[in-house]
Structure 1
Amino acid sequence: MQLVKTGLCAFGMSGKVFHAPFLKEHPGFFLSAIVERTKNDSAEQYPDATIYRSVEEMLEQSDVEIVVINTPVQTHFEYAKKALEAGKHIIVEKPFTVNASEAQQLVDLAEDKGLFISVYQNRRFDRDYLQVQKMISEQKLGNIREAEIRFDRFRTDPSGKQHKESPEQTGSGALHDLGAHLIDQAVQYFGMPDRIFADVFSMKGEAYANDYFELILFYSDRLRVRLKSSVFSKEAHYAYIIHGDRGSFLQERSDDQENELTAGAIPEYGTLWTQPLQQADGILNYSSESGTTERLLTFSEPGNYMNYYQQIYEYMVFGYALPSQGIEILQNMRIIDAALESAREGKIVDVVKS
């Protein structure tokens, strides 16, 4: 198998859970470089990877082909630009950048250099997201008229991470964090909206970045999509509610890959390594072609974040489609920009599409 040498820009939670294990277990990748500024935590699990003390040092001294930019979002633009200028392909953790202007500059630079940008939208490989995608594609619900996607948590105490919670840090807060996932999913399901109305604020108070948002996406063909997130949600809601002119579908947020990886699960290549569902995680209620009403409990199929890196490998080696390429995720950043403008102005705003 052709080996693709890859380097990680950080070995925090993102590197330990979402990237390094998959790069190690996928036979087509060689995790050859890891940036740790002061520690050597990666040495035991990844002894073949050289530890560098800065991103700049890794770019100067290593021969990696792909650089994973998994540092705080406020540094994404700087490090992504340096990696592209060094002739490296890049994978950027979500959110892509702090705004669409930065994202556009990186997309243009990558095109000039003949390099690729992929943004790590791993939630496209969640079992719940894939189940909703399947239900929409099967058209049992008819023409979709209303949809709601939620990502709630119960985290009422501050985490202490300034790059995520300080209101003075551009790109901090739930809209850039969880919103980057929900917006991406809405666009994958329904395309780009025409307009948006947004309520974005901090339930913890003005000393903290936004931890609540509700976005209403307006589509011209009689469709409304609501995206919502709160950190004061002790009881779980259905994460996906889809209503069409023939029926409805309700889906729990049932994917547990993050928790399993955090607990030490090994994402084995070529296997469904996640734990199976113990009970149904969805409800489908629709009118069949014969006119009878069907109400079914549904079971989603397993998701697998390994498929993201498999698609990256297939792009590198065989020229297949690149997952979540930068020019595509640039559109998501335009929605985030529009949402912030809407919340600030208190009005519906148009979404820039190009």
Structure 2
Amino acid sequence: MSFQPPDALNVALIGYGLAGAVFHGPLIDSTPGLRLTHIVTSARERIRAAHAAHPQTTVVADVQTLWQNAYQLDLAVIATPNSTHATLARAAMDAGLHVVVDKPLATCSDEARALIAYADACGRRLTVFQNRRWDNDFLTLRSLIEQGELGDVYRYESRFERWRPQPKSGWRRSGAQTAAGGILFDLGSHLIDQALQLFGPAQRVYAELDPRYSESEVDDDSFVALTHASGVRSHLWMSSLAAQPGPRLRVLGSRSAYVKYGLDPQEAALRRGERPGVRDWGIEDEGNHGWLGSERERRRIPSLPGAYLQFYARLASALRYDAALPVDPRDALRVLEIIEAASRAHDQGMPIPL
């Protein structure tokens, strides 16, 4: 745990599954100015894990107990199943707290739009955990674009692919609309957000959203194509059944191309129990560095360090000094609007305007 000043902001983490235990808990603990004081989880194994990882944190079994102690808190972080995001966010704001919601912000754009309006009306700060904006590959590509190394980008290819021959159980396998399950809501939320951040608003979307596992209720292997107002075309792949993953990024420009394999190392490090702030955090092996250039001439480009901690560092500044939020919730709304449009495009088998 980082040293915390006496006036550090007190944070409650609601949910202690993968998102809470691997991402939010360690990142909050490592951020100067934030103090993780409460964790909400009811599963026995997760209670033990929370006590072991955060021995100075109070663990409670339900949110009603948490709301009774809301006067001690400044911020609630919601890392629960997608179907509960909007309800818990409203309840946290009613309790007087600012709110972080893990992506996606809500299960549909109408729900997200209403939640943003509610936050504005009651004067609470609402943001969304789009941590992949601080992936090493995204940071490196953005820097290359800003430096003009690629010239005018005209095609952007981005992939999150894994090889999982047998599906994992859980709420993400539910086909109920209120569950917001499937890989498009999961990995697609990151891929779409990154594309919009790099190339601006999209005008048209096409999608192929396919179940691959036996009797699957959700999409397991999906493709989304965006046409941006800037003229760039984004091709986004997400899959749980890619026995041989393609390049993480392939970006074509008028001057050169950038190709990058391998994922940002921060998630793997967090899963191993490592914490941000240590030497070499976010530094990847040289063998995974991307290539910049052409077929005839190319060079290795060292990846910038990944920096997930920036999300919570910027949030602490936003809450203390009324600075900009790390992620505008309206960005997350636009992602949901594209996810919904992608579903319609799949059903119609053709591109549709946004």
Q: Does 1:341 align with 2:349?
A: no
Indicate if the aligned counterparts of 1:254 and 1:281 stay in contact, CA closer than 8 A.
no
Q: How many Å separate the matches in 2 of 1:98 and 1:28?
A: 31
Q: Does 1:164 align with 2:169?
A: no
Indicate if the aligned counterparts of 2:32 and 2:313 stay in contact, CA closer than 8 A.
no
Among the aligned pairs, what percent are the same residue?
Answer: 30
The residue identity in structure 2 corresponding to 1:284 is: L
Q: How many Å separate the matches in 1 of 2:59 and 2:142?
A: 40
Q: How many Å separate the matches in 2 of 1:217 and 1:263?
A: 35
SS at match of 1:156: coil
Pairs aligned (count) = 344
In the TM superposition, residue 275 of structure 1 has moved relative to its aligned partner by: 4.9
In the TM superposition, residue 199 of structure 1 has moved relative to its aligned partner by: 0.8
In the TM superposition, residue 298 of structure 1 has moved relative to its aligned partner by: 1.4
Stretches of structure 1 lacking an aligned partner (at least 5 in a row): 288-292
The residue identity in structure 1 corresponding to 2:277 is: E
Indicate if the aligned counterparts of 2:266 and 2:281 stay in contact, CA closer than 8 A.
no
In the TM superposition, residue 253 of structure 1 has moved relative to its aligned partner by: 3.2
Q: Does 1:53 align with 2:61?
A: yes
Q: Does 1:90 align with 2:99?
A: yes
Map Cα deviations across residues 85-140 of structure 1 (whole Å, 9 max, x no partner): 22211000011111101100110000001111110011111111111111111112
SS at match of 2:216: coil
1:71-220 aligned at under 5 Å gives the runs 71-161=80-170, 163-168=171-176, 170=178, 171-220=180-229
Greater mean alpha carbon deviation, residues 50-59 or residues 71-80: 50-59
Q: How many Å separate the matches in 1 of 2:28 and 2:226?
A: 36
Q: How many Å separate the matches in 2 of 1:203 and 1:282?
A: 31
Q: Does 1:320 align with 2:329?
A: no
Q: How many Å separate the matches in 2 of 1:102 and 1:315?
A: 24
1:15 to 3, 14, 20: 20
**Hey, what does 1:290 align to over in structure 2?**
none
Q: How many Å separate the matches in 2 of 1:203 and 1:237?
A: 18
In the TM superposition, residue 47 of structure 1 has moved relative to its aligned partner by: 2.5
Q: Does 1:281 align with 2:289?
A: yes
Change (3 A) 1:111 1:102: same
Map Cα deviations across residues 1-31 of structure 1 (whole Å, 9 max, x no partner): 3301000111112111101112222231111
In the TM superposition, residue 56 of structure 1 has moved relative to its aligned partner by: 2.4
Q: Does 1:297 align with 2:305?
A: no
In the TM superposition, residue 84 of structure 1 has moved relative to its aligned partner by: 1.4
Q: Does 1:350 align with 2:350?
A: no
Change (3 A) 1:184 1:155: same
In the TM superposition, residue 34 of structure 1 has moved relative to its aligned partner by: 0.7
Indicate if the aligned counterparts of 2:261 and 2:289 stay in contact, CA closer than 8 A.
yes
Per the normalisation by structure 1, the TM-score is 0.92
Stretches of structure 2 lacking an aligned partner (at least 5 in a row): none
1:225 to 208, 213, 234: 234
The residue identity in structure 1 corresponding to 2:154 is: R
Indicate if the aligned counterparts of 1:145 and 1:222 stay in contact, CA closer than 8 A.
yes
Q: How many Å separate the matches in 2 of 1:23 and 1:335?
A: 30
In the TM superposition, residue 251 of structure 1 has moved relative to its aligned partner by: 1.6
Change (3 A) 1:295 1:278: closer
Greater fraction helix: 2
Per the normalisation by structure 2, the TM-score is 0.92
Indicate if the aligned counterparts of 2:28 and 2:35 stay in contact, CA closer than 8 A.
yes
Q: How many Å separate the matches in 2 of 1:342 and 1:244?
A: 27
Map Cα deviations across residues 275-300 of structure 1 (whole Å, 9 max, x no partner): 5423252111159xxxxx74111110
Indicate if the aligned counterparts of 1:140 and 1:286 stay in contact, CA closer than 8 A.
no
Change (3 A) 1:53 1:346: same
Change (3 A) 1:198 1:280: closer
Aligned-CA RMSD value: 1.8
